[in-house]
Chains A and B, each alone.
Chain A
Amino acid sequence: MKKLIEVKGVTVGFGSQIVADQINLVLYENEALALVGGSGSGKSTLLRTMLGLVSPKSGEILIEGHNLFALPHEERVNLQKKWGVSFQNGGLFSGLTVLDNVAFPMREHTNLAPRTIDTLASLKLRMVGLDEQAANKFPSALSGGMATRAAVARAMALDPEMLFLDEPTSGLDPVSAGSIDELMRSLRRSLRLSILIITHDPNTIASVCDRIAMIVDKKVETGTLDEMLNSTNPKVREFFDNVRVQAALCERG
């Protein structure tokens, strides 16, 4: 399988504090990888490093074989166009309506007709389950769950090959969370996207992701759900036993 992103010996942290040490991680083509770990274990920081927003203390990030931090600016922008990112708090532009938020990347990077862009943007909003009424609201008027969905819609604006989602289902009711999970599954099936999801949601882990990477004690452990359940590390086993129980409960409910 083709390696899209390879994290090689990356150490991240703030000041003298190190949150993740010598991390090795690979995201393959057309796979969904869950990045899990306790609060403050450095998941978001690792994601920000993979996106090139933060420089690692050591190690390198290889994007399709190129070192992200050594690439010239223009090539980096071209790579970034193939990525869709939704941040934990949405990261929506507060001065634009939801529709304009989704339309914004298209206006900047394509020369489609304005009307087509608006229609495409409203289509993407409908894909994440937002109606036209929500489309014309400003982000400050949205509930947390709606903001998350709008952020996912914006991440998909440029039809990316890779999606990075930071807790896309947190703060959503089970039904909406389920529809986001379904969306991620169908994105992979029909558009063959690769997705990296930071999540705590047992359902997402169990039903969307093929592989899981867990940050424990500043190190990363990867494997399928079954492998994680039989891990030699008791902390990993404990975490995924909980995941399995909760996922099973939800299934029954």
Chain B
Amino acid sequence: MPERRSNEARSTMTRQDGASLRFVEVKPDRDKIHLVLDGEWTIENAAAIERDIDEAMRRINGHPFDVVGDGIDKLDTSGAFLLKKLAKGDTQTHLAEKQRTVLEFLPDYSEYTPPKQEKQPVAVSVLSGVGERTYVGLDFLWEIFEFIGRIALCFFSNLAHPSRFRLPSIVRHIQETGINALPIIGLLAVLITMVITYQGAMQLRMFGADVFTIDLTVISLLRELGVLVTAIMVAGRSGSAFAAEIGVMQLREEVSALRTIGLSPIEVLVLPRVIALVIVLPLLAFLADLIGLAGGGLMSLSLLDISFTQYLSRVEDVATPTMFFVGMIKAPVFAFAIAVIGCYQGMKVSGSAESVGRRTTLAVVQGIFVVIMVDGIFSIVFQKAEI
């Protein structure tokens, strides 16, 4: 805004000259000082006016003064506020009628005092912070198990009335979390196996054992990576979507509306999502396995000069049903964890748009964390069971 800038520039200039200020002119008289006001007292000039007032006050240095304000061209509420601040108490003011109406329109001037916040000593606030976080963490554990319990209750009571499972909703979520995710998960599976095959081939070549690259690829893909990569992708894609969808519904009071209609949000919103994801994630993981194997074949062809038929027969030798099922059995567990955490965080949204963002982030972070943690637990169990 060029106009405002020039006004300010001018007021700075005149102040440096020590001569008259642009908005407030100090005119000493015999017994009293007159402050003659000038210019447009609007919000655009408010910062300059405020500086001029401070400067004028400094020059007056506590002497009694009166305010001559009928030279003001234009007065808005911000200008009127500054005028009131200048002429507080029983200072005499000379104003024209139109300025007086603006001034009278404004509520009485009083400084805004920010609400007092009780300050605690650092030691206390650190300790209480630790305690608070511990309680929040314990609450979270308690609440998430309660949430799982309610989902289970709803699931088992629905078994008696299968029509309450809301097939259309489940199908929609299968479409959104499964079918729409196919391209990205396929691409990711190919890329991951390519990287493993390449790295494996480079290292194993040093021992002349590059044929075992295929073993490495197949075992790591089927046992771990296929399902893990899929689960992480789904946690990022769908866990966040669940949290955001339910969160915004929570903000717009759609969830409360559901309750008042006599429906349980668990049944209508949470259960279809959980069921859909539990169905979809094993399928996606299976597909990631297949596409990953294809990617491995491609890399073997170009890096190891192994033909596709040779590659397939090697895969047949290495892969066992146990290996495949060890991977696949994790998929529904991961799916359950991701869906429950996503929906839980969505239900916990309250108040502001910021809360949607925070809860969505939590849904993804906790989802991926739990997936990796559960994967570790599975590894230990399988190792003890010698599978």
**Contact surface of A with B, Cβ cutoff 8 Å:** 78, 81, 93-95, 99, 106, 110-113, 115-116, 118-124, 126-127, 132, 136, 138-141, 156, 158-159, 186-187, 189-191
Contacts and interface: CB of A to CB of B under 8 A. Distances in A.
A123 B102 contact: no
Contacts of B42: 159
Given A110-B43, A112-B47, A119 B101 contact: no
A135 to B, nearest CB: 8
Contacts, number: 80
A120 B81 contact: yes
A136 B115 contact: yes
B169 interface: no
Nearest to A121: B112
Contacts of B109: 119, 123
A94 B112 contact: no
B47, B77, B112 interface centre (most CB from chain A within 10 Å): B112
B186 to A, nearest CB: 35
Contacts of B105: 186-187, 190-191
A111 B47 contact: yes
B76 A191 contact: yes
Contacts of B350: 140
A129 B43 CA distance: 22
Q: How large is the interface on B (under 10, 10 to 19, 20 to 34, 35 or more residues)?
A: 20 to 34
Contact of A112 (B50, B106, B112, B251): B50
Contacts of B44: 110
A191 B102 contact: yes
A158 B112 CA distance: 18
Interface stretch (B13-21, B191-199, B277-285, B351-359): B351-359
B47 A110 contact: yes
A140 B50 contact: no
A159 B102 contact: no
Contacts of A158: 43
Interface string B94-108: 000010011011110
28 contacts: A94-B251, A94-B351, A94-B353, A95-B352, A106-B43, A110-B46, A110-B47, A112-B46, A112-B47, A115-B111, A115-B112, A116-B50, A118-B112, A119-B109, A119-B112, A120-B77, A120-B81, A122-B112, A123-B81, A126-B107, A127-B106, A127-B107, A136-B115, A139-B352, A140-B350, A159-B43, A189-B101, A191-B76
Contacts of B64: none
B114 interface: yes
B77 A124 contact: yes
B4 to A, nearest CB: 9
Contacts of A156: 77
B78 interface: yes
B78 A120 contact: yes
A136 B114 CA distance: 9
B109, B113, B352 interface centre (most CB from chain A within 10 Å): B352
Contacts of A126: 107
Given A110-B44, A123-B107, 9 more contacts: A94-B353, A95-B352, A95-B354, A99-B112, A112-B47, A139-B352, A159-B43, A159-B76, A190-B101
B298 to A, nearest CB: 46
Nearest to A133: B115
Nearest to A95: B354
A119 B81 contact: yes
Name the 6 nearest CB pairs between A and B, nearest first. A94-B352, A159-B76, A140-B351, A122-B112, A119-B112, A190-B101
A95 B353 contact: yes
A154 B107 CA distance: 16
